[in-house]
Structure 1
Amino acid sequence: MHHSPDDGITPKRRFRSVFISDTHLGTRGSRAEALAEFLRHVECEKLYLVGDIVDGWRLRKSWYWDRHHDEVLRLILRFARAGTEVTYIPGNHDELFRAWLGLEVAGVKLVREAVHTAADGRRFLVMHGDEFDSVVRYYRFLALLGDSAYSMALELNRYFNIARRRLGYPYWSLSQWLKRQVKGAVMAIDRFETALAAEARRHGHHGVICGHIHHAEMRDIGGVLYMNGGDWVESCTALAEHDDGRFELLDGTAAQRLPQPMPPLPAPRLTLPA
């Protein structure tokens, strides 16, 4: 069966499954144009939207929506119409859609979490991951403050890259660099990843696929494969599964051409402890 959102002659990369999270549509920081370009150049049997697709937190404060945001939604719906199984797992920024869990809207199934069975039989827990972020879960006011500060950093990042582009330099994420310099943020990321891997192990799965922290990663944590597809605000990355069950992180920042794979990362065939 053909699973392409467009019928043009542009070649597309075919995957068994694609996982996208944290697009934050409705914000100026969303790289919606790059995401639309990415979606036009891939086809898949299963498409997972792993939370924070539409940023309800930001839209409640100020409305921002342009034709690229429209195009992303149009392409997602075309995937569903073309026969791709589209699953939407709302996150904390689009938590308003959690009221619709269990429904199917325009071919898009809304669920709290999912279990994805890879082509090689491995099972992966798929969830946004905000349940394991203690700041979001227990200190919502602090999380909102953090969201405001983060938005300021992203706005600065936008002007910074406008200047870089005019000078002929490629895109570079200032906000991502700043986040990596903060030791506490690095420690928090490690705690988050460890907690998600432990949750997958508790349910007897081989691994976990999530989003939330805007940090693309594939790594073994105590015999469980942790995978995070990243985001479409800073890194513009997605996670993809090949027909043989191998997983790959994709870099979608290369505009006007097929997304290129990131350097190979190990995806071991894991055996769960007895």
Structure 2
Amino acid sequence: MKKRKIELAVISDVHLGTYGCHADELITYLNSIQPKKLILNGDIIDIWQFSKRYFPPSHLKVLRKIIGMASKGVEVYYITGNHDEMLRKFSNTSMGNFKVMDKLVLNLDGKKAWIFHGDVFDVSIQNAKWLAKLGGYGYDLLILINSFLNWSLTKMGREKYSLSKKIKNSVKGAVKYINDFEKTAADLAIENEYDYVVCGHIHQPKKEVYENKYGSCTYLNSGDWVENLTALEYSFKRWKIYHYNHDRLSPFFMDEDLKEMDMNDLIASITDKEVNMYDVTEEHLSQTEEENIENDFLDDKGLSQD
């Protein structure tokens, strides 16, 4: 498989060690990309629900793949979340290209990106952790039931159905929580003069520009690898939400705008230099004409290399 070269990839909420994790699909995705940086934005390993009875080879293969990427020069940042909060005792630890931290600020082509998992906004986790853990077990059970349901629907030739999405979209409290989460993250980012705020946690992939009276920023969420199978990718000064179920089946563009993007803009985005395509074309044609004249001269003299 030919790997796509990208600047940055962000994945979160993989929940290795649970029945809902799509480890095989994640391995396929990681094998398809060649990023300079890989950000694991929390809840990669589900330590809350970890059990020695269930950690299949495919889940272990994900960890090996990530470590292998780090050993080959990819900068890997493991940002801790609530389900893997035990790793927070190792925050600011570095092992070669592998770094563990609670948050990260990156400079992306002159713009600041603020990256963290997002559980800091979750009151239920801060004040009643046992309730959040209980909810986690209930969510895992729902995903397990949903897996059986989708297996049955597939056998009958029908489309898959997401019970968790249906519940989230139909419960007003859940919808309000997600909206409040996104607005809070964006407002704080604007207040602290960040251009991008990148989260996970709520399993809702999104890319949206938020504005208030103090300014604007782009809110991004990497989604998850339980329901949505999504990631964030940054390249050519643009962010893209990668959807495994769609993008793996069709020719992939880093951004839809690239299809119609002017060649001058594309080259400038890569080199940070303005390039006149007319001059490039003229130069190329001049070189070609000179080569043709030289070849004709060699042919006339019987000195052609052929």
Give me the TM-score of the superposition, normalised by structure 2: 0.77
- Displacement of 1:105: 3.5
Opposite residue 219 of structure 1, the aligned amino acid is: E
For 1:262 and 1:62, how far apart are their aligned partners in 2? 39
Greater Rg by CA: 2
Unaligned regions of 5+ residues in structure 2, if any? Answer: 258-306
Closer, same or farther: CA 30–176 of 1 in aligned 2, 3 Å: same
In structure 2, the residue matched to 1:173 is 162
Q: 2:181 aligns with which of 172, 176, 192?
A: 192
- Displacement of 1:264: 4.9
- 1:56 counterpart SS class: coil
Higher RCO (CA-CA < 8 Å; seq separation 6+)? 1
Opposite residue 252 of structure 1, the aligned amino acid is: Y
For 1:235 and 1:262, how far apart are their aligned partners in 2? 19
- 2:194 counterpart SS class: coil
- Please state if 1:76 is matched with 2:69: no
Where does structure 1 differ by over 2 angstroms across 4 or more consecutive aligned residues? 167-174, 253-265
- Please state if 1:164 is matched with 2:157: no
- Displacement of 1:108: 1.3
In structure 1, the residue matched to 2:20 is 29
Closer, same or farther: CA 159–41 of 1 in aligned 2, 3 Å: same
In structure 2, the residue matched to 1:221 is 210
For 1:186 and 1:261, how far apart are their aligned partners in 2? 31
Q: 1:250 aligns with which of 208, 231, 242?
A: 242
- Displacement of 1:169: 3.6
In structure 2, the residue matched to 1:272 is none
Quick check: 233-242 or 131-140, which moved more? 131-140
Closer, same or farther: CA 175–259 of 1 in aligned 2, 3 Å: farther
For 1:101 and 1:166, how far apart are their aligned partners in 2? 46
- Greater per-residue helix proportion: 2
What is the percentage of aligned positions where both structures have the same residue? 35
Taking the TM superposition and a 5 Å limit, the aligned residue runs for 1:111-130 are 111-119=101-109, 121-130=110-119
For 2:7 and 2:254, how far apart are their aligned partners in 1? 18
- Displacement of 1:177: 2.3
For 2:140 and 2:96, how far apart are their aligned partners in 1? 31
C-alpha offsets along residues 164-212 of structure 1, whole Å, 9 cap, x if unaligned? Answer: 2222345442222222221111100010111111222232211200100
For 1:27 and 1:254, how far apart are their aligned partners in 2? 24
Q: 2:29 aligns with which of 38, 58, 62?
A: 38
- Answer whether contact 1:13 1:258 (CA < 8 A) is retained: no
In structure 2, the residue matched to 1:3 is none
- Displacement of 1:145: 2.2
- Displacement of 1:133: 1.1
CA RMSD of superposed structures (Å): 2.1
Matched length? 253
Unaligned regions of 5+ residues in structure 1, if any? Answer: 1-9, 266-274
Opposite residue 109 of structure 1, the aligned amino acid is: K
